Every structure is written in C-alpha cells, then in structure tokens.
Structure 1
Amino acid sequence: MKKENRFCILCLLVLVLVQLGCAERPPVRDRTKFFGQVPEPVLTLPERQYPGSLWQERNSESILFMDHKASQVNDIVTVQIVETVAGTGVSNSKYEKETELGFQVDALLGLPQSLGMNNFLGLGEPFQPGVKGKSVNDFEGKGQTRRSGTLSGTITCRVVEVFQNGNMEIRGSREVTLNREQQFIVLSGVIRQEDITSFNTIRSDNVADARIEYYGEGILADKESPGWLARVLDWVWPF
C-alpha cells in the first residue's frame, strides 16, 4: 500500500513539473533597442570663406530667427502623450429548432399489423410497428464587453532616422526607480516636421505607427500576477 502511495505522489510531482513547463511565461522585453545609443552623425563643416567676417555658417544655428525644431538625427523632441481608448461590444445570439418524426406501418407483406404478438413484452398490448419522436433544441446567449483606458504624460525622444521625404523616426524611453520598483515608459513612431510646434513639442496622436508602452517591474508587478501554482491549476482545471 505504501509503495502505491509513493508511486501516486511521484506521478503527481511529474505531472506538476510537466504543467510548469507548459505554463505561459511573461515575455522578456528587449530594452537594448530602446536604451541603446544612436551613433553620432559625422558632420563636415565648410572652411571659413571670410575669416574676418561676423557671419560664419557654422554659427548659423545660433541665429535668433533660426528654426530650432528637430530635423536631424539625434535631435530631441518632446512628445505629449494624450491617449484615450474606449470600446464597447454587444452581441446577442438566439437559436431554436424543433423536429418531429413519426411513421406507422399499417400492413407488412399481408401479415397482421401486430405480427402475431398480441401481448408484446407482457404489457397486454399488441405490437404496433411505428416510431414517433420529437426533438427540441433551443439556445440563447448574450454578451457584452467594455474597455477604456487613459494615458497622459510627456517624454522626450530622439530622432534616430530621417527619411527622404522629411519624415523622422523617433524613439524615447524613461526609467524611474522608486523603492526598488522600476517604471518604464517607451515610445517610438514616425513624425512629420510640420506637426512639431514652435516649442519643439508634438502630440502623440500625430505620431504614426506609434508604439507606447507603460509598465513596471518589481515587487508590485510580481504581486499583481497570480503565482505559478495558481496558473498551473487554472490551466489544468477543465471547468
């Protein structure tokens, strides 16, 4: 009896280990593409044509009326995150089907209808060849889902690539650590220079192919997710 109990316990442990291997793990985020350094572009400045002149091309960026919007690789631009998402879905399904089936044999090859079985199965009734049935299938289902979310804030991004048509790919990230809890904000996308304001800012709804992530890692993030045993039992439980 003890050997059987040990064998059952061993099988249970093996089953738990197998379920742990099948349990879904949170995806590992690749931070290198967000926190990696963008190589500095090599700029070649022209020689001074007029050494004694007050006007120098290399100092043109400091002119009072010069546009200081982001336009080159490694220029920075501030993105104002104003994201609001709301969605509602309602579905109703109803299915009803009723089927009746019946037939009766009045004569069979000249034989009497009861085929000589006047006391069928000892019930005192003659045999009556026939079938009668009824089937009813009814289904009704209703469902409703509602989801909403709001994210606001600011993040400063860098220009990582300038396309031929003038559009720019930006990428930015911010990491804040508080009480051993890390909070990350990551943003990437494509912007147009004409959408940038005179204060070198742009709204997130003007960012094409925008990818905005806001997540945390640490004790609080771990406590918000169920434990491994709860995930295994939820995966195994058939109901």
Structure 2
Amino acid sequence: MKPVHFLCLALSVAGCARAANVGQPPELSSPRDTEEFLAMTNPPLDLPLDSGRPEAAASLWAGTQSSLISDRRAAVRGDILTVVIEIDDQAEISNSSGRNRSAGDSVSVPQMAGIPQRLADKLPEGASFDELADASSSSNYKGSGNISRRDKLTLRVAATVVDTLPNGSMQIEGTQEVRVNYELRELTVSGFVRLGDVDRSNEIAYDRIAGARISYGGRGQITDVQQPRYGQQIADILLPY
C-alpha cells in the first residue's frame, strides 16, 4: 500500500469515528473492562488463622477485615482506597542577559628601511603607508525571558490495588468517568504506594504516590471543537515554516 493510500485510509477511519458521535453523547466505557475489576474478581488466596474452627466465624478477634480490631486500610490485591488530589502549584521564572563588545585595529608602516618612502611615489593617488589598514567592530546582544504558570486541581477518586510488589509496596489504579450532557470527563490515576502512607481513613495524598500518573481530560463535542482538524495537525508536522 502506498503512503498516500495509507494516509487516506487513516483519515477516513478517523472521520468515521467522529461521525459515530454525531447527535449522541460519548459512550461510557464498561467498568468490567478495566484492570481494577480483574484485581477485585481475582484476589489472592488469603485465609485467616483458625478459619477451620467453627467458632472463628463468630469471633470478634478474627483476622478478617470485618473484625473490630482489624486494619481497614487497603493492603492486598482487590482492596480499594481513596486518592486525594489537591494540586495548587505556582511558578514564576524571569531571566535576562546582555552582552556588549567593541574592538578596533589600526596598522601603519611609516618607516621600514626607507622602503615605504621609495614605494610611495608608485602608489595610486591618495594611497599611503601611513595608514595601511584600519578596522573596527562592535556587537550588542540582549535577551530576556519570563515564565508564569499556575495549576490548581482538587479531586478525589477511588483506586484499586491491582498488584503487590515484593518489597511490600502496592500498585494502584483508579478511573472515573463523569458525563454531563454531551461531554465526558475522564480521570485516571496510577502509581505505587506504601502501606504506611495510607492513613487511618484509608486515604492517601497524591504527593505520596511514587511514579504517579494523573490524567484529567475529556471527550465530546466541546473537546472535539477545541482540537485542530487532522489535516491541520498533519500540516503542522510536515511544513517546515
């Protein structure tokens, strides 16, 4: 297949995907198609102590999470915890630099064993060895830059423990979709946490998640209008100006 044909096919498929959302809101993804559902439906086998004894089921001191003295924090695959995202960052950077340089050179040969005087008559009118060469140069440079950024985001999302690592850390993953009219907002969070960083309310702050990946975006009519068309995106890549 020629590159031109492949490009036309890709644009046609992309156009069909856009046409599928005409007149209807974007589809919500199924929660059963996520890694979270797989982790909750296939938890590790962890039997409590003395589970074979009949009185263990009615004991208040059993080792299960329903016990009065048990730790209710997420600890194993399939458990759920709350991730608190409160981002309020502000950064301002201002740089300036300047450079100024000037130089001048003058070369003359007024006397050199009488040779300049003997050759002076043979030089063109107005020429002289007294001012053989004269050069000067100057350069000036000035640059400045300013960056001002402000990010603020406050969200809470439930995440699931999808795996436990050999060092005791937990890998978590959480997704959330909210549809308002014809716009769908998607929030995803993933990373690695330590059990000790999860508080007694079974919550953890985003800045205690190692390798945190937080995405907050959307899809729908508003997002589609804000994005440039595929032809414009391809032109921005290919055109050198």
TM-score by length of 1: 0.70
Q: Offset of 1:155 from its aligned partner?
A: 0.3
Aligned to 1:206, which of 205, 208, 213?
A: 208
Aligned to 2:23: none
AA matched with 2:53: Y
Aligned to 1:110, which of 115, 129, 133?
A: 115
Contact in 2 for aligned 1:81/1:154 (Cα 8 Å) = yes
Q: Offset of 1:170 from its aligned partner?
A: 0.9
Aligned equivalents of 1:228, 1:52: Cα separation in 2: 67
Aligned equivalents of 1:205, 1:233: Cα separation in 2: 36
Note the aligned Cα RMSD (angstroms): 3.4
Aligned to 1:224: 226
Any idea what SS the aligned residue of 2:149 has? strand
Aligned to 2:26: none
1:108-146 deviations in whole A, cap 9, x for unaligned? 773535342453xxxxxx212411121010111111111
Aligned equivalents of 2:181, 2:121: Cα separation in 1: 91
AA matched with 2:204: I
AA matched with 1:51: P
AA matched with 1:197: D
Asked if 1:83 is matched to 2:87, the reply is: yes
Any idea what SS the aligned residue of 2:225 has? helix
Aligned equivalents of 2:197, 2:55: Cα separation in 1: 39
Aligned equivalents of 1:50, 1:225: Cα separation in 2: 63
Aligned to 2:54, which of 47, 51, 55?
A: 51
Aligned to 1:161: 163
Contact in 2 for aligned 1:70/1:200 (Cα 8 Å) = yes
Asked if 1:74 is matched to 2:78, the reply is: yes
AA matched with 1:110: I
When residues 106 and 230 of structure 1 are mapped into structure 2, their CA distance, relative to the original with a 3 A threshold, is: farther
When residues 160 and 44 of structure 1 are mapped into structure 2, their CA distance, relative to the original with a 3 A threshold, is: closer
Aligned equivalents of 2:224, 2:177: Cα separation in 1: 18
Aligned equivalents of 1:223, 1:42: Cα separation in 2: 46
Aligned to 1:150: 152
Any idea what SS the aligned residue of 2:216 has? strand
Q: Offset of 1:84 from its aligned partner?
A: 1.9
Any idea what SS the aligned residue of 2:72 has? coil
Contact in 2 for aligned 1:45/1:58 (Cα 8 Å) = no
Q: Percent identity?
A: 25
Structure 1 unaligned blocks of 5 or more: 1-13, 18-30, 120-125
Structure 2 unaligned blocks of 5 or more: 8-28
Contact in 2 for aligned 1:83/1:205 (Cα 8 Å) = no
Q: Offset of 1:96 from its aligned partner?
A: 1.1
TM-score by length of 2: 0.70
Any idea what SS the aligned residue of 1:61 has? coil
* Count of matched residue pairs: 204
Any idea what SS the aligned residue of 1:198 has? coil
Asked if 1:62 is matched to 2:61, the reply is: no
When residues 43 and 107 of structure 1 are mapped into structure 2, their CA distance, relative to the original with a 3 A threshold, is: same
Any idea what SS the aligned residue of 1:62 has? coil
- Once the two structures are overlaid, the 10-residue window that deviates more, 89-98 or 196-205, is 196-205
1:145-178 deviations in whole A, cap 9, x for unaligned? 1111011110000001223343211111112233
Q: Offset of 1:187 from its aligned partner?
A: 0.6
Contact in 1 for aligned 2:77/2:162 (Cα 8 Å) = yes
AA matched with 2:59: W
